[in-house]
């Protein structure tokens, strides 16, 4: 079975309510989705994390012509072929984001051909339902005394929907962050809370905020420091009790090996639409396991990436094993996103804060081609 055609779609939608985090704010959503079609007519879908217009060129102009005609089920062979073809100038970055979406589409395709779900392809499911944490509480352009109660109200809404865990954004400024961390804990005394700064702090600030999180019994502190300063994570870790999580900006087993070696990180967060795809995420998980660390994917974008992460966590063995292990919570972004909520005929079901793992072949989600047309601002086809 050979790859005959690769289609890409740059999808865009404008948001009713722009939202922000420590580095940027968004008034629109963009994503690149990829369809890989074989000579038998069966196709698989994947998505890329990163700037969709640039990634689209990397897929359609660079990688697609190099893998047309390849054995569609040979995921590792294709990955290695793509890697070697761009290694001299693209060991990571946007090109790896492009490879990730292609690899995801090939896993979806392989599952459909073999009649197996992606979690079965990954070695089998430990669980049929994966608990989720709600990601939200993004900043809005409001005075701080209005913003804080609004964020607390949003979090209470997720708790009422059944989420037992959720993640807030910090990194606006340390004074506001501290107030927010405490207000969230007071409002939700029994919820598992995490905080994500998106690398907003220097080391003294991260220590200060980390101590507040420790005192308020948060579960993890995400991207406290810049990914460029791996050596600082160890120094931070030595001052704090709580788990330090990072990895959404990192890629490949080689990148994660360096991250682990630099020390201080106790939870890895590869994004399956960016780290090198499901193939590479499994290698990163093996590396993490060999170092006694767990992996919980970063999830952004549409249902394809969410489905890939659902299968990845359904097939994850929590390190270390015990009678009642901690939960590996799946990231479920709750901010406005028509490309997640209005694009799919078949989506992942999330009820009471938990995602049901699809048992149908492939990723188990299906794009509504008609619905996609309203969002499609540029598409390509390579044969």
Point out the residues that are catalytic: 298
Task: Answer whether 310's CB lies under 8 Å from 130's CB.
Answer: yes
Shortest distance (Å) from residue 144 CB to Mg ion? 22
Task: Answer whether 378's CB lies under 8 Å from 2's CB.
Answer: no
Nearest CA to 250 among 259, 241, 242? 259
Task: Classify strands 43-48 and 129-135 as parallel, antiparallel or unpaired.
Answer: unpaired
CB of 52 or CB of 200, closer to Mg ion: 200
Cα-Cα end-to-end distance for the chain: 15
* HSE value, Cβ hemisphere, 13 Å, CA-based, for 95: 15
Which residues from 176-205 bind Mg ion, rule CB under 5 A? Answer: 196
CB of 108 or CB of 222, closer to Mg ion: 222
Shortest distance (Å) from residue 240 CB to Mg ion? 18
Judged by DSSP in three states, 40 sits in coil
CB of 112 or CB of 334, closer to Mg ion: 334
Residue at shortest CB range from Mg ion: 196
Backbone angles phi, psi at 6, to 5 degrees: -125, 120
- C-alpha dihedral, 178 to 182 to 187 to 191, nearest 10°: 100
Shortest distance (Å) from residue 247 CB to Mg ion? 9
Shortest distance (Å) from residue 198 CB to Mg ion? 6
Shortest distance (Å) from residue 315 CB to Mg ion? 22
Residue 62 is classified by DSSP as: I
Which residues from 90-119 bind Mg ion, rule CB under 5 A? Answer: none
CB of 120 or CB of 196, closer to Mg ion: 196
Measured distance CA(92)–CA(247) in Å, rounded: 13
Which residues from 220-259 bind Mg ion, rule CB under 5 A? Answer: 222
Span of 89-97, 216-224, 233-241, 279-287 interacting with Mg ion by CB under 5 A: 216-224
CB of 36 or CB of 170, closer to Mg ion: 170
CB of 23 or CB of 173, closer to Mg ion: 23
- Residue 270: burial class (beta carbons within 10 Å; 0-12, 13-18, 19+): buried
CB of 35 or CB of 222, closer to Mg ion: 222
Torsion over CA: 148, 153, 158, 164 (sign): positive
Sequence-ordered list of residues with C-beta below 8 angstroms from that of 339, at least 6 positions apart, any chain:
11, 13, 29, 31, 301, 302, 375
Shortest distance (Å) from residue 288 CB to Mg ion? 17
CB of 196 or CB of 250, closer to Mg ion: 196
- Using CB under 5 A as the binding rule, whether residue 331 contacts Mg ion is answered as no
Nearest CA to 196 among 273, 281, 290, 296? 296
Q: What tokens appear for 212 in the block?
A: 């507040």
* HSE value, Cβ hemisphere, 13 Å, CA-based, for 92: 11
Backbone angles phi, psi at 48, to 5 degrees: -115, 140
Shortest distance (Å) from residue 197 CB to Mg ion? 9
Count the site residues for Mg ion by CB under 5 A: 2
- Residue 305: burial class (beta carbons within 10 Å; 0-12, 13-18, 19+): buried
Shortest distance (Å) from residue 196 CB to Mg ion? 4
DSSP assignment of 119-150, as one string? HHHTT--S-SEEEEEEE---B-SS-HHHHHHH
- The residues of the shown chain that bind Mg ion, judged by CB under 5 A, are 196, 222
């Amino acid at each position: 079975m050979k790859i005959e055609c690769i289609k890409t779609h740059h999808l865009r939608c404008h948001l009713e309510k722009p939202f922000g985090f420590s580095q940027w704010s968004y008034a629109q959503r963009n994503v690149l989705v990829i369809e890989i079609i074989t000579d038998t007519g069966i196709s698989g879908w994947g998505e890329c994390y990163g700037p969709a217009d640039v990634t689209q060129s990397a897929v359609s102009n660079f990688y697609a012509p190099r893998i047309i005609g390849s054995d569609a089920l040979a995921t590792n062979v294709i990955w290695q072929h793509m890697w070697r073809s761009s290694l001299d100038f693209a060991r990571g970055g946007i090109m790896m984001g492009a490879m990730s979406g292609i690899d995801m589409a090939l896993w979806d395709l392989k599952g459909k051909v073999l009649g197996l779900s992606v979690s079965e392809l990954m070695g089998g499911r430990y669980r049929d339902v994966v608990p989720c944490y709600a990601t939200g509480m993004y900043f809005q352009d409001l005075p701080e005394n209005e913003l804080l109660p609004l964020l607390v109200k949003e979090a209470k809404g997720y708790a009422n929907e059944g989420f037992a865990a959720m993640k807030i954004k910090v990194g606006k400024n340390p004074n506001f962050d501290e107030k927010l961390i405490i207000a969230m804990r007071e409002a939700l005394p029994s919820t598992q809370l995490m905080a994500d700064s998106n690398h907003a702090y220097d080391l003294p600030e991260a220590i200060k905020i980390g101590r507040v999180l420790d005192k308020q019994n948060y579960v993890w502190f995400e991207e406290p420091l810049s990914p460029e300063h791996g050596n600082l994570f160890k120094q931070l870790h030595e001052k704090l009790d709580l788990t330090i999580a990072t990895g959404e900006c990192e890629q490949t087993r080689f990148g994660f090996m360096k991250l682990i070696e630099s020390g201080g990180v106790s939870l890895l967060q590869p994004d399956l639409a960016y780290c090198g795809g499901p193939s590479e995420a499994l290698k990163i998980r093996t590396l993490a396991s060999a170092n006694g660390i767990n992996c919980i994917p970063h999830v952004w974008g549409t249902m394809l990436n969410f489905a890939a992460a659902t299968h990845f966590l359904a097939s994850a063995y929590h390190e270390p094993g015990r009678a009642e292990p901690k939960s590996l919570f799946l990231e479920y972004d709750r901010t406005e996103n028509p490309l997640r909520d209005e694009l799919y005929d078949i989506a992942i079901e999330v009820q009471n804060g938990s995602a049901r793992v699809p048992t149908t072949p492939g990723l188990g989600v299906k794009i509504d081609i008609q619905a996609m047309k309203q969002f499609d601002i540029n598409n390509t086809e390579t044969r």
